[in-house]
């Protein structure tokens, strides 16, 4: 266990905003950065792209719609780091240009992932956040931070 090593984790990080967050964390965060993705090939490709830039993220498979996947990640974090320092909940889905899918189905699928999946990640991982840690609900959602600033 590397409990003295800080760790930041970004969900949904194989492309877009999540990928950019991982890149910046790799450059600025003093500790390990874990890139997660639900598709292993895409996640590993993203890690390889960052490694080609001289960065060193770690990869872990995570499907936020799958409680077993979330718990496997939780167990990995406990075993490897004894907890979590930074959690960025970026994973989510959006239907774009798929007008053939009925709105009620789009709504159900979107809520399952973007609300319930994120809730399940928080339920399993927030108890692991170390006292000095923080949680960011991502740029698509509101941010909630643990006690980072000194008391007033």
Candidates 80, 51, 74; CA nearest to 61 is: 74
Q: Are 35 and 46 contacting, i.e. CB atoms less than 8 angstroms apart? A: yes
Domain presence at residue 149: no
Could you tell me the residue range of the domain that residue 58 belongs to?
7-137
State how far the Cα of 36 lies from the Cα of 38, in Å rounded to an integer: 7
Per-residue pLDDT tens digits for 106-149: 999 999 999 999 999 999 999 999 987 655 555 444 334 333 33
Residue 102 lies in a domain: yes
Domain count, the chain: 1
Task: Let me know if 106 is exposed, middle or buried by CB neighbors in 10 A (0-12, 13-18, 19+).
Answer: middle
Computed over every residue of the chain, the mean pLDDT equals: 88
Percent of the chain past pLDDT 70, that is, above it, reads 85
Per-residue model confidence (pLDDT) at position 82: 95
3-class DSSP state of 89 = coil
- Tokens 């799958």 sit at which residue? 66
Residue 79 sits in a domain whose CATH number is 3.40.50.720
Enumerate residues 6+ apart whose C-beta is below 8 A from 76. Answer: 60
CA angle 90, 62, 114 (to 5 degrees): 40
| Residue-wise pLDDT tens digits, 51-73 | 999 999 999 999 999 999 999 99
């Amino acid at each position: 266990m590397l409990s003295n090593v800080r760790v930041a984790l970004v969900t949904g990080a194989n492309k877009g905003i999540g990928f950019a967050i991982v890149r910046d964390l790799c450059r600025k965060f003093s500790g390990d950065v874990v890139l997660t993705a639900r598709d292993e090939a895409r996640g590993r490709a993203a890690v390889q792209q960052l490694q080609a830039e001289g960065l060193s993220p770690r990869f872990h498979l995570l499907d936020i719609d799958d409680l077993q996947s979330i718990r496997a990640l939780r167990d990995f974090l406990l075993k490897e780091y004894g907890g979590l320092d930074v959690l960025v909940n970026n994973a989510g889905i959006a239907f774009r240009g798929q007008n053939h899918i009925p709105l009620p189905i789009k709504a159900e699928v979107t809520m399952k992932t973007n609300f319930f999946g994120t809730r399940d990640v928080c339920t399993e991982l927030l108890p692991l956040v170390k006292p000095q840690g923080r949680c960011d609900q991502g740029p698509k959602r509101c941010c909630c931070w643990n006690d980072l600033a000194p008391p007033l």
